[in-house]
Each structure stands twice: as structure tokens, then as C-alpha cells.
Amino acid sequence: MGRNYYYMRISTAEERGKQKFTRQEKAIQDYCKNQNIEYDEHDVFRDDCTGKTFNRPSWNSLKSRLQSGDTVVFKDISRFTRVDTKEAYEAYMDLMKQGIRLVFIDNPSNDIRTTGTSIIAENNADTKSQQA
């Protein structure tokens, strides 16, 4: 059995002003409580930067620690990435091939054990429509 890690990301001045990491942290803590998982602050990684790249300090730190059997919990898939669909899918599948499980609390049907292509495409389509 691997370790559980928790990843949070905010990226805009609006997010910083309104919520900081509060909603994400509460959702993850509630998830842990409901799943009888111990929430350890030492296993939490936070980035305050865009999701349009995977070159994020805390994400890189977390990724370097991951081992087969580990789980990373996110509030939703948009906290994982906002990169283009192909790059997102490749990152998703790379983690799956390494035996890393991704849990998206607000997108439960997108557990990494299922195909992530459609939700990643959907997430990126939502991002593009919000930018228009």
C-alpha cells in the first residue's frame, strides 16, 4: 500500500483573493474523513501558479517523491492541469503506467483506473470557453 498525497493549486488573483486554498483543503480533508484516510499536512503540496504547464515547483517536488502504489488526491481535475489535451493525457497516462493513482474528488468517474481522455478534453474545452 502506497502513501496518500494531496495537491492543491490556485492560479489567478481572483482565486487568491476569494478562496486561497481553503475550499480545496476542506474538500480534501472531508474526503479523507469519509474514506478513513489519515490527512497529514506533511503530505500536502500547494502551488500558486498557472496550470497551463506542469513546470510547477510543488508539483515537481511531489512528482519526484511518487512511487508505484501511491495516490494523489485533487479537489478536481482542473487542479491537476489546464494544458492542452494531448499533453494532459500523456501526463495522466505516464502516472498511471508508473502505478500512481489519481483521485479527483469532484470528478469521481475519472479515477485514473478509467480512461481520462474525455474528462481532460472536457476540462480543456471549458478552459478555452472561459478565456473567450
Mean pLDDT of successive 10-residue stretches along the chain, which has 132 residues: 92 64 93 94 92 91 96 91 85 92 82 46 47 46
Distance CA 13, CA 96 (A): 32
Helix axes 117-131, 85-97, angle to 10 degrees: 150
Q: Which of 83, 78, 87 is nearest to 106 (CA)?
A: 78
